[in-house]
Amino acid sequence: MSARRTALLACAALLTGLLPLTAAGAAAGADEPAPVPVDTFEGEVPFANPPAEGLFPWGGDADDPPRLALTARDDAPQGAKVLTGGYDISGYGGFTHDFAFDRPARDWSAHKGIRFWWEGRDNGKRISFEIKDGGANGEASELWTTSFTDDFTGWKQIEIPFTDFTYRTDYQPVGGIDQVLGLTGMWGYALTLPTGVKGDFAMDGVELYGKGAQSLRASVVTDAAVHTVKEGAAADVRISVATTGSVPIDEPVTVAYETAGGTAEAGTDYTRVAGELTFPAGTASGTSRTVRVPTLKDRSAESAETVPLKLTVTGARAPAENPQVVIDAHGLPYLDAKLPVKKRVADLVSRLSLEEKAGQMTQAERGALGTPGDIAAYDLGSLLSGGGSTPTPNVPEAWSRMIDAFQLRARATRFQIPLIYGVDAVHGHNNLFGATVMPHNIGIGATRDPRLAERTGEVTAAEVRATGVPWDFAPCLCVTRDERWGRSYESFGEDPALVKSMETVIQGLQGARDGRDLKDDDRVLATAKHYVGDGGTGYGSSATGSYTIDQGVTKVTRQELEAVHLAPFKTAVDRGVGTVMPSYSSLDIIGDDAGPVKMHADAEMINGVLKDRMGFDGFVISDWAAIDQIPGDYASDVRTSVNAGLDMIMVPYEYKNFRTTLVDEVKAGRISERRVDDAVSRILAQKFRLGLFEKPYADTSGASKIGSSAHRAVARQAAAESQVLLKNAGGVLPLKKSQKVYVAGSNADDLGNQTGGWTITWQGASGKITDGTTVLQGMRKAAPGARIDYSKDTSAPTEGYDVGVVVVGETPYAEGVGDVGNGNDLELTAADKAAVDKVCGAMKCVVLTVSGRPQLIGDRLGDIDALVASWLPGTEGDGVADVLYGKRAFTGQLPVTWPKSEAQLPINVGDASYDPQFPYGWGLTTLTKVPGGGSAALRTLALVAAKAERLGADEAGRAAVTKARLLVQQRIGTRLTPATAKPFADADHLLLTGRYKEAVARLTTAYKSA
């Protein structure tokens, strides 16, 4: 998914109107409390990150966080210093003052509001101001927001009554702690600065002011915005009074109620109710009353009908929206689970309006909803969490409650079509803190273990579905052909045959190929992405920002397109994959003179090849805002993509505009109703197969298994099998538990670096970002009592050790942000090189590269005794320790060619010229006796392989080729040449395609050339 995804969205789309700007020094009433300072910016609050108290900047990209400083100013409104900052924000950015997590929250309930001095620039930009209320701490609190406009010059004091703050609907803990601005547990404030303009700001004197009256402190709330009932039952709507500070109300609060409007008919569908509730003075905060709305049975099949309950409140703030009772749809054929899916779909599609169909084709980012009511208002078919878009706190219960709240909103639509919620669980439920995080696909490809790939999919599906999410935007079936690509680690490898062999993960996610398991509580709908050719984009062809290769152009012959890039998708379709996501990239087929065509606009490839020729019967989902990259205006983007075969469009922020535009295009005849019906039918079919109509809410029975020891055991095995031993001079590996080990390097004790991008947030981050075990921790657990000392920068003395282990490599990135040339290369950092040089110059050494792609070792290889490609092994560093200490054998093989230099790229198995550092398929082993016998043994293995191939005995054929490979690897040793590397790599491709006889023949050629 694209670089625009993020956990927090720019608030500009969600802000309310202008705030009044109150003149400085307005006289306070005689009975008002004195102002209480929050920040004077004289240095009393440090620049520090949570959990400590402090001011800190944040932003969507590396250059978005503003630069903060405390600056002495003669014109400071208060004191001698002010807070200043500069910014140039393309995505979103701002700053926060969080109070210390280990101290009590602050009580602001006695005051009317908050005010501060702001130096105006008169740029006409709106600035969001938020306060953090309730919850465990400042990063797990409810956010309440408002804004002011910078349309003045010079210092002005801005006063914001607490009543002006509105509940933020996009980024809340557990869908909101209580959605009441309590003010007794305040954790700080935050400002979101303008985007699209380079500027600076100055701020001073944040303080609480005025006295909070009851009319400002008391609110009336309801238990839910939507109350569903079966026809003939009664709905009970609970109405409560709540106060800031949870103190009793000191004046009466009245709530007049009446059923009014809606689609249900009074007297036929329900009994009209009206009346008044009174909460007398002295009523405790939290006290509730119940209004019962009876419904009536009319014995006819019907769609859902709504009964709004209008509330008129005196003496307190009214709810943000009136609650409504929904009489469930009943008796209609599409609701009959015993009918075939095809009949249910046909019945439901026949009932939908064009607007409802367009809503089903619309997917929005959960954080971009203007209000939860938009789900019903726009008949939305789907929501997603982009990378890092999570509830707070980021725990399973919060996910399930959040998604259930969204599903409840969908119940207020005519036909109560459930949402299908999607996430990028690309290596486990990687957005969720504490989930089991698998190695990235590049490591899974290194295992060469299809059954293990399937098991990783099973664990991922179980953990994802247990949080209420039925849809996973995985697996990525790209065939990576250039390791400069920032998505390289999302691929199983450079060989389409290897990618195809790992597609067992689809069955791990979905279960049976016919979709009969999708309704189970441990299965999810899978997505084959990114169709087609995203792994073949040419270096320098990208037109997206500073990207160099991602989202670029794949220029291929039709033969190469079929053999390399399309082949994995044909396998996925045969395996019953439920959805397919096109690539951002463009396809330029040599010889057809069409030039580059954006995949989201490529009707030949989507309608023609995927749907017609391959017979794909699932639905096609666009990538994040990807139709915006199609040339033309927005209407053109919509009709081009839908006519090309896209069924659901991921329009994170533009869901309203997209739905309206789609309807207009159909009415104008530029998109046929038949195309819309086909798209909606495909979407609904998967919703029916998932069982969402019968069970729209989360089944959390499997939540206790999230991050469990059983699930982590699978990830641990995957981490162990993904390790590729490239060199092992003198048998330095496996390590002995009696050895004194010196551990160094940037990635030895960093869980974030070890898990890589797409972990907790889109880009990932260094440090302890989730639960897991680092490589260093795994080593210490594997050899308890042994002397294992760690010096990240090798500043500790190196004398007295038997062996050194240096763990180096990359820091996290995702997509084009990680492209080589976009601030990245394949070289080790200067610090990592220094660590390797120092340790390997002092003792026998093992070097592990923790990375998403090969790292250039260059002339250091001769000084390294053992070299391991550790890839991005996930949260289970124990798996890496297992092979280092010999609990498991090294069995991994290179899923991509390891180059000698960046100048060689792209370099892949099958190239006419092939001179790598290590060839595709290379991987030494430990704890395994390597066959002897030389040429005679290879002749025997050739006969065995030929017979196995003739009889279809795949297991025997693979075993014969593996023995031959180990024999030849031992013969080659460190004497790799083009004459040995090319046939060696070719043999692994032949093995994966079932040509065992040819594979042994190519290995024999390599043996003779060594």
Catalytic residue list: 623, 815
Report the alpha-carbon distance of residue 445 to residue 497 in Å, rounded.
11
- CB within 8 Å of 517: residues ≥ 6 apart: 510, 511, 523
Q: Read off the tokens for 17.
A: 């109107």
> How far apart, in Å, do the first and last CA atoms of the chain sit?
45
Report the alpha-carbon distance of residue 423 to residue 428 in Å, rounded.
11
Give one DSSP letter per residue of 250-289, joined into a string: SS-EEEEEEE--SSS-BTTTB---EEEEEE-TTPPTT-EE
- The closest alpha carbon to 610, from 561, 569, 671, belongs to 569
- CB within 8 Å of 219: residues ≥ 6 apart: 180, 181, 241, 242, 243, 316, 317, 319
- CB within 8 Å of 701: residues ≥ 6 apart: 466, 521
Report the alpha-carbon distance of residue 585 to residue 550 in Å, rounded.
7
Asked if residues 776 and 880 have their Cβ atoms less than 8 Å apart, the reply is no
- CB within 8 Å of 154: residues ≥ 6 apart: 119, 120
**Any idea of the CA torsion for 147, 153, 155, 161, to the nearest 10 degrees?**
-20
Q: At what angle do helices 978-992 and 996-1009 cross, to 10 degrees?
A: 170
Report the alpha-carbon distance of residue 423 to residue 452 in Å, rounded.
22
Report the alpha-carbon distance of residue 912 to residue 784 in Å, rounded.
50
Q: Read off the tokens for 302.
A: 């019907």
- 418 to each of 321, 390, 405, 424, 690, how far by Cα in Å? 22, 20, 12, 20, 11
Helix, strand or coil, per DSSP, at residue 85 = strand
Strand partners, 69: 84
- The closest alpha carbon to 39, from 148, 114, 133, 129, belongs to 114
Report the alpha-carbon distance of residue 384 to residue 366 in Å, rounded.
6
Report the alpha-carbon distance of residue 560 to residue 143 in Å, rounded.
52
- CB within 8 Å of 195: residues ≥ 6 apart: 10, 12, 89, 90, 91, 92, 93
Q: Read off the tokens for 287.
A: 């006290």
Asked if residues 55 and 48 have their Cβ atoms less than 8 Å apart, the reply is yes
Asked if residues 787 and 741 have their Cβ atoms less than 8 Å apart, the reply is yes
Q: How many CA atoms lie within 13 A of 472 on its CB side?
A: 34
Q: Read off the tokens for 470.
A: 């039925």
Q: At what angle do helices 954-972 and 978-992 cross, to 10 degrees?
A: 170
Neighbours of 628 (CB within 10 A): 15
* Helices (H) then strands (E): counts for the chain: 24, 37
Which residue type, as a one-letter code, is found at position 691? G
- The closest alpha carbon to 816, from 585, 503, 582, belongs to 585
**Any idea of the CA torsion for 990, 993, 994, 996, to the nearest 10 degrees?**
0
- 521 to each of 510, 511, 527, 576, 679, how far by Cα in Å? 11, 11, 18, 19, 26
Asked if residues 899 and 919 have their Cβ atoms less than 8 Å apart, the reply is no
